[in-house]
Amino acid sequence: MTAPLTVLTEEERMFQGAVRDFAESEVRPRVCAMEQAAQLDPTLIPKFFELGLMGIEIPETYGGAGGSLFMTVLAVEALSAVDASAAIFVDVQNTLVNALLLKWASDDIKQRYLPRLATEVAGAYALSEAGSGSDAFGLHTKATKQGDKWILDGRKLWITNGAEAQLFLVFATVDVSRGYKGITAFAVERGFKGFSVGKKEDKLGIRASSTTELILDRCDVPAANLIGEVGNGYKVAIETLNTGRIGIGAQMIGLAQGALDHTIKYTRDRTQFGKAIAEFQAVRHQIARAATELEAARLLVYNAARLRDARQGFLTEAAMCKIFSSEVAERVTSLAVNLFGGNGFVKDYPVEKLYRDAKIGQIYEGTSNLQLQTIAKQIMG
HSE-CB at 110 with a 13 A cutoff on CA atoms is 17
Residue 245 and residue 328 in one domain: yes
Residue 239 and residue 366 in one domain: yes
Where residue 151 falls among pLDDT bands split at 50, 70, 90?
Answer: very high
Mean pLDDT of all residues in 339-349: 98
Residue 266 and residue 221 in one domain: no
Residue 254 and residue 323 in one domain: yes
pLDDT given at position 7: 75
Total domains in the fold of the chain: 3
Final residue in a domain of this structure, among 122, 154, 185: 122
Residue 274 and residue 369 in one domain: yes
Where residue 262 falls among pLDDT bands split at 50, 70, 90?
Answer: very high
The string of pLDDT tens digits covering residues 281-318 is 999 999 999 999 999 999 999 999 999 999 999 999 99
Q: Provide the mean pLDDT of the chain.
A: 96
CATH of the domain at 183: 2.40.110.10
Final residue in a domain of this structure, among 106, 122, 138: 122
pLDDT given at position 5: 44
- Residue spans of alpha helices (H) in the chain: 10-22, 31-37, 45-50, 69-80, 84-91, 99-104, 107-119, 233-269, 281-309, 315-340, 351-358, 368-380
Residue 156 and residue 78 in one domain: no
pLDDT given at position 136: 84
Which range marks the domain in which residue 360 is found?
235-380
Rounded CA separation 76/250 (Å): 6
Final residue in a domain of this structure, among 231, 265, 286: 231
Active site residue 365: yes
The yes-or-no verdict on residue 2 having pLDDT over 60 is: no
Residue 46 and residue 99 in one domain: yes
pLDDT given at position 1: 47
Rounded CA separation 81/335 (Å): 16
Q: Please report, rounded to a whole number, the percentage of residues in the chain having pLDDT higher than 70.
A: 98
Residue 254 and residue 183 in one domain: no
271 forms beta bridges with 276
The string of pLDDT tens digits covering residues 195-246 is 999 999 999 999 999 999 999 999 999 999 999 999 999 999 999 999 999 9
Q: Report DSSP state, residue 224.
A: G
The yes-or-no verdict on residue 247 having pLDDT over 90 is: yes
Residue 239 and residue 367 in one domain: yes
The yes-or-no verdict on residue 147 having pLDDT over 60 is: yes
pTM score, two decimals?
0.97
The string of pLDDT tens digits covering residues 66-94 is 999 999 999 999 999 999 999 999 999 99
The yes-or-no verdict on residue 4 having pLDDT over 50 is: no
Rounded CA separation 33/44 (Å): 12
Residue 311 and residue 270 in one domain: yes
Residue 241 and residue 375 in one domain: yes
CATH of the domain at 50: 1.10.540.10
Residue 243 and residue 360 in one domain: yes
